[in-house]
Homo-oligomer: A and B are copies of this chain.
């Protein structure tokens, strides 16, 4: 069973790529980086547990229902307080960009304390632990809880994956990410992160300028410096997104195992339906690959295809099965109708 730690928020999106100021209604979903990873893995038939906190009201209840729908184990979700984390997504279109408004300060998750988690049992039956840089960015409390979780998992020899997930608009509670993240990342087996975020969060210099896709040959040497800094690391991966416009992206992924860089095919994603959660689907695909294949090429192929499809699904969650991903890999990118 795989455990992830993070916040699940109510996501409100004006329908039909409309603008917030045009709104007469919002489509309502739930989402959050680590919840997205758990649900994507659950859709691959991997048992998962979500460690979090939710308010004691109808919104928290609905979030629990949503996680349960995908059979994610919610027994370690603490129910307390009254503030649901919320975020608004104004999806752009063509040359109009997307906008996100966070309303997650003081949420049940942000106020979670070390005492809210039953540390003696939270990792029972867990053989992989995942967190992302969003969890410790929310509040000092959350940073404390994340650190405790990472250290407990490491002590129990549970492999750990971390998605750097740098968001400039978070990290507002006083400490910069560069102060908090290095200690958290120390125990990481599988890391997801682009060079720019790595530099911000760990100080490892980003030697690249311009499009990394044109400099793939230089990646291994750079990644070796990351491996040197984080000795437990087995894999480091990153997605490479080219934004043609808000509704047309190109998408590929690479993974490095300390020796060789494995690259996926590049997908042409248009019309892009929903980019939010795309990185999380990539992360879930990487974990799935690590757990099931132990073959970096298969892993990066699976993770990139899976997250490519996610961009065609509205909402944060990647709803596809392993079969759906393999069908895409088999037909090489073009959609088709099966009837």
Contact = CB atoms under 8 A, between A and B. Distances in A.
Nearest to A170: B339
Contact of A103 (B83, B88, B100): B83
Contact of A12 (B26, B97, B327): B26
Copies of the polypeptide in the assembly: 6
A201 to B, nearest CB: 17
B245 A335 contact: yes
Given A25-B28, A100-B339, A334 B243 contact: yes
Interface in A295-327: 308-309, 311-315, 319-320, 324, 327
B247 A314 contact: no
Majority secondary structure, A binding face: mixed
B17 A95 contact: no
Contacts of A311: 94
Contacts of A224: none
For chain A, the bracket of interface size reads 35 or more
A105 interface: yes
Contact of A268 (B26, B245, B271): B245
A121 interface: no
A18 to B, nearest CB: 7
A98 B24 CA distance: 21
Most buried by B among A22, A27, A57, A94: A94
A13 to B, nearest CB: 9
Contacts of A243: 334-336
A269 interface: yes
A337 B26 contact: no
A306 to B, nearest CB: 11
A180 interface: no
A94 B272 contact: yes
Contacts of A61: 20-21
B338 A100 contact: yes
A63 to B, nearest CB: 10
Interface stretch (A68-76, A137-145, A190-198, A226-234): A68-76
A144 to B, nearest CB: 21
Contacts of A273: 17, 93-94
A336 B246 contact: yes
A182 interface: no
A335 B18 CA distance: 15
A205 interface: no
B90 A58 contact: yes
Contact of A19 (B22, B70, B106, B313): B313
Contacts of A276: 337
A260 interface: no
8 contacts: A24-B24, A57-B101, A92-B335, A96-B312, A96-B324, A97-B331, A106-B106, A246-B335
